[in-house]
């Protein structure tokens, strides 16, 4: 029997072991530290400072957070952005993931022709630049020259058309749906891969038990891909609370109309870099970024403790 790794390392001279560790782990640790750990710590540190007009910085402890959550001038837009972000996330969870699951279920049907074609077509938007997607949908939905109104008229639903992106009531949901359209390929692919992993004989057994395709999906396949669905959910959560690009490219940093589409990403951007009459405030921006970090951390912890521990992965 070959010697176990722990035995080999235990017998190694300390210096040699350290050299080996450095050789194998060093590069990854260095890059991760430089680009992930350092910026995170530096941002958190910066959030405890404030600067005067001369540019000098003073340590103020948690004062920035008190301002952000206590001063109505800051807290109102912050909670607005947070609320909008929750809606943004809710639309993804309720629309993107169910559609992704359904598409994956359809793709995994036996005997479906042109599988590869459908898969590619549905995944294609995910590979497009968000800027291009945002710009295209902006044009499509434009009440002046967009094709949406014409297309609705052509099928006799012209009266349903509204300038969705321009209305406070519908802008956020419209943007969320654009994002859903773009990224539905990701849950589809992940769940499709999980569905392919289910052994054929299990499906055969269910057929012998008298289940049709629909019931097989709900009673057999769906429970078996639950771990993947929960993974997709947590990926969606992280991506949604870090989102910025689509809102910025469609509505600009002001996230109009009247901040109706403002989410934490755009709120952070305006705070940190400034926009129009608002001056950039890196220390306050860092505070926003830190709060965003903790929101996501809290969400992940809740997921890990409440969901992940109960989800069971099945070995086939």
Q: Which residues bind another protein (CB under 8 A)?
A: 199, 201-202, 204-211, 215, 219-220, 223-224, 312, 314-316
Helix (H, G, I), strand (E, B) or coil at 278: strand
Closest distance to another protein from the beta carbon of 108 (Å)? 17
Distances (CA, A) of 211 to 7, 139, 195, 202, 214: 53, 46, 17, 12, 8
DSSP letter, residue 4: P
Least distance to another protein from the beta carbon of 207, Å? 5
59 pairs with which residues across the strands? 49
Task: Work out the number of other CB atoms within 10 angstroms of the CB of residue 6.
Answer: 8
CA nearest to 250, candidates 95, 149, 146: 146
**Distance, CA of 38 to CA of 281 (rounded, Å):** 20
Instruction: Report yes or no: 252 and 233 within 8 Å, Cβ to Cβ.
Output: no
Is the Cβ of residue 77 or residue 227 nearer to another protein in the bound state?
A: 227
- Helix (H) and strand (E) counts in the chain: 18, 4
Shortest distance, CB of residue 294 to another protein, whole angstroms? 35
C-beta of 168 vs 209, nearer to another protein:
209
Task: Determine which helix (DSSP H) or strand (DSSP E) holds 49, and give its type and residue range.
Answer: strand 49-51
The residue among 14 and 312 lying less far from another protein, judged by its C-beta, is 312
- Tell me how far, at minimum, the Cβ of 195 lies from another protein, in Å: 14
Please identify, using beta-carbon distances, which residue of 228 and 290 lies nearer to another protein. 228
Partnered with residue 278 across adjacent β-strands are: 275
Beta-strand pair 278-279/274-275:
antiparallel
How far apart, in whole angstroms, are the C-alpha atoms of residue 156 and residue 277?
45
Tell the smallest beta-carbon distance from residue 220 to another protein (Å): 6
> Nearer Cβ to another protein, position 14 or 113?
113
For another protein, the closer of residues 230 and 242 by Cβ is: 230
77: burial class by Cβ within 10 Å (0-12, 13-18, 19+)? middle
Rounded least distance, CB 208 to another protein, Å: 5
Nearer to another protein, 52 or 201 (CB): 201
What's the min distance (Å) between Cβ of 23 and another protein? 40
């Amino acid at each position: 029997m070959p010697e176990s790794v722990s035995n080999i390392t235990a017998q190694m001279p300390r210096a040699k072991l350290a050299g080996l560790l450095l050789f194998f782990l060093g590069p990854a640790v260095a890059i991760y530290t430089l680009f992930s750990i350092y910026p995170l710590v530096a941002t958190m540190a910066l959030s405890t400072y404030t600067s005067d007009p001369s540019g000098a910085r003073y340590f103020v402890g948690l004062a920035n957070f008190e301002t952000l959550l206590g001063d109505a001038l800051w807290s109102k837009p912050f909670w607005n952005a947070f609320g909008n972000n929750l809606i943004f996330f809710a639309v993804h969870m309720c629309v993107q993931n169910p559609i992704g699951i359904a598409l994956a279920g359809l793709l995994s049907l036996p005997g479906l022709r042109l599988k590869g074609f459908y898969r590619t077509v549905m995944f294609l938007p995910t590979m497009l630049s968000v800027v291009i997607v945002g710009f295209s949908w902006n044009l499509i939905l434009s009440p002046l020259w967009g094709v949406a109104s014409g297309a609705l008229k052509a099928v006799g639903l012209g009266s349903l058309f509204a300038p969705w992106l321009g209305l406070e009531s519908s802008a956020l949901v419209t943007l969320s749906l654009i994002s859903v359209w773009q990224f539905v390929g990701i849950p589809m692919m992940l769940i499709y891969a999980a569905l392919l992993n289910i052994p054929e004989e299990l499906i055969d057994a269910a057929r012998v038990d008298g289940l049709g395709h629909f019931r097989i999906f709900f009673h057999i396949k769906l429970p078996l891909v639950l771990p993947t669905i929960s993974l997709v959910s947590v990926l969606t959560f992280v991506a949604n609370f870090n989102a910025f690009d689509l809102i910025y490219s469609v509505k600009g940093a002001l996230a109009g109309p009247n901040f109706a589409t403002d989410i934490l990403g755009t709120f952070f951007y305006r705070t940190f870099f400034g926009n129009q009459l608002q001056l950039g405030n890196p220390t306050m921006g860092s505070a926003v970024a830190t709060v965003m970090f903790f929101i996501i951390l809290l969400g992940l912890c809740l997921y890990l403790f409440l969901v992940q521990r109960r989800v069971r992965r099945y070995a086939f």
